[in-house]
Chains A and B, each alone.
Chain A
């Protein structure tokens, strides 16, 4: 279809009316350009939002106990209760589909006074007692040393892992923190590691960067709470339903703590999966909207091409008639008209695509592609797949734009050329 002669034929007709061809092509150019810009911006927001939740297990549920709201088995309502280590074991053993269960002991920072010190330098940070699998749910980057390990738990060692900000504030970045002793709420701990959160937007009881992480058992001894803790998180194994698991976990806890089977108020359950699913739908919605708007713009460009081509065909009645008289078959005429519209559209589309990608590359250079706390816009570029899709759409729209003019063109008979007017 695209040998040199045909290209010449097509190019002659396009180049014959430069202004008109240019204006016609502009519609398609603009459509693709806008589509690329929109897609890239959509990706920018998508990346930005995703970077904020990076590292956090999206299939996790957070459960905290609250006073009971129903009287049951002789207990008054309003009774305080706590989960303990044997509950965790029971959940792990009895409920299929729970992947990881992670108990958390949290000591909130109160009254804003400095509670953590290295030497004379101090800061106000919360303390968190965890077990090693915490790092698999709320993942962190380990900057120095290591995270809490199993031995720390078993031996209830007095070690700690510092959040990045705690490290910077009380020790300072110029010093290797490993092996140093810090004092937190009056007790000394060995620093075994420094961690940084992947994101600062999703966290449990305060940003990990501003937290001192301790072994759970150490903290239970230090605060004399036995085997109790404040709350726990669990993740759903692949193929299981989080909502079902939540019900099972709650039922198990009710049974074990003599809570009424109908008491929903005894827990506060926070479902991260639900939240993240909402995010996903939001992203999806934005994406669909972008494609609709983009393709709509492109479509108006296509209608423009089609419209102008129809006028052109009308003006070229005699020329086409002559071609028919000289032996051009209908298929040749169709091919030529289609090829004209295709070439015009593809050229315009490529220019739009390239310009759009180039502009967004520049914008991306300004915005940067590393996450930061306050920028919700990250690396706004379109992917290879989207670029291919856009190119295919351009081609299809070129063909689409050519259909009506081609039909009109083959209705022109050779005899029309001869009719003297």
Chain B
């Protein structure tokens, strides 16, 4: 599903910063992968590249068999819209839209008509137990609810992969556990998922843990989350 070959990325500032120094990574379909690393290890940059939010300088990135390189803004937008679902640490819901409108937004950009859009969005909200909150605005929702709305938003376009950037970073441990449970369930339906985190407890819930250090992959750890009692381990 994801294939990275010798990805290099340098930020050219006053002092050129070589952030990613040759990343090689394969993520097969349906995998649940976490990327761990200290701040500055390049994990956010890697996620940006995976999410086609940023360019890379060298190497090749294949997403669902397609080479993602030197895309125009329009192509990138289309790839993001169709192939990738994003989950952010701070949810990034649009504050003046209701939960339903937020979930429906990616479909709006696909040109899906209003009725179908709202029906689909409602289905996803229902799936995450938010049916009664559909007409509420983000500031009327709890952190866990917000993250569930944003998961619904990420899934509504039926993407190939879900990229989650510290999805539990703004949540307490109990809610974190709930959200992780949801993500695992989503993964269980066959959607590939990459989670960036710096919390070991979160990483332990994934099958593959990629350790990133100073722009290179230090190690890839195989993990069996089912052996973990995640409610205790999580923090």
The answer to whether B92 and A417 have CB atoms under 8 Å apart is yes
Stretch at the interface among B77-85, B173-181, B200-208: B77-85
Chain B positions 179 through 213: 1 when the CB is less than 8 Å from some CB of chain A, otherwise 0: 00000000000000000000000000000000000
- Which B residues between 4 and 18 are near A, CB-CB below 8 angstroms? none
The residue that B90 contacts in the complex, of A324, A326, A331, A420, with Cβ under 8 A, is A420
Q: Number of residues in A with C-beta < 8 Å to the partner?
A: 26
- Which A residues between 302 and 344 are near B, CB-CB below 8 angstroms? 318-319, 321-332
Tell me whether A327 and B94 are in contact in the complex, defined as CB-CB below 8 angstroms, given that A5-B108, A418-B165, A420-B89 are known contacts: no
The answer to whether B86 and A326 have CB atoms under 8 Å apart is yes
- Which B residues between 70 and 129 are near A, CB-CB below 8 angstroms? 73-74, 77-78, 80-82, 86, 88-90, 92, 94-97, 105-106, 108-110, 114
CB distance from B77 to the nearest CB of A (A): 4
Residue B48, interface by CB 8 Å = yes
**Please, which residue of chain A has its CB at the minimum distance from the CB of B106?**
A326
Tell me whether A330 and B48 are in contact in the complex, defined as CB-CB below 8 angstroms, given that A4-B114, A414-B80 are known contacts: no
The answer to whether B86 and A331 have CB atoms under 8 Å apart is no
Bound complex: CA of A92 vs CA of B114, how far in Å?
80
Residue B160, interface by CB 8 Å = no
Residue A12, interface by CB 8 Å = yes
Q: Number of residues in B with C-beta < 8 Å to the partner?
A: 30
Tell me whether A327 and B81 are in contact in the complex, defined as CB-CB below 8 angstroms, given that A415-B53, A418-B53, A418-B165 are known contacts: yes
Tell me whether A325 and B96 are in contact in the complex, defined as CB-CB below 8 angstroms, given that A330-B74, A330-B77 are known contacts: no
The answer to whether B54 and A327 have CB atoms under 8 Å apart is no
Which B residues are CB-close (under 8 A) to A325? 51, 53, 80, 86, 92
Residues in chain B within 8 A of chain A (CB atoms): 44, 48, 51, 53-54, 73-74, 77-78, 80-82, 86, 88-90, 92, 94-97, 105-106, 108-110, 114, 153, 157, 165
Residues in chain A within 8 A of chain B (CB atoms): 4-5, 9, 12-13, 16, 318-319, 321-332, 413-415, 417-418, 420
Q: List 29 A-B contacts (CB under 8 A).
A: A4-B114, A5-B108, A5-B114, A9-B108, A12-B97, A13-B96, A16-B96, A319-B94, A323-B94, A323-B109, A326-B106, A326-B153, A327-B77, A327-B106, A327-B109, A327-B157, A328-B109, A329-B73, A329-B77, A329-B109, A330-B73, A330-B74, A330-B77, A331-B74, A332-B109, A414-B80, A415-B48, A417-B92, A420-B90
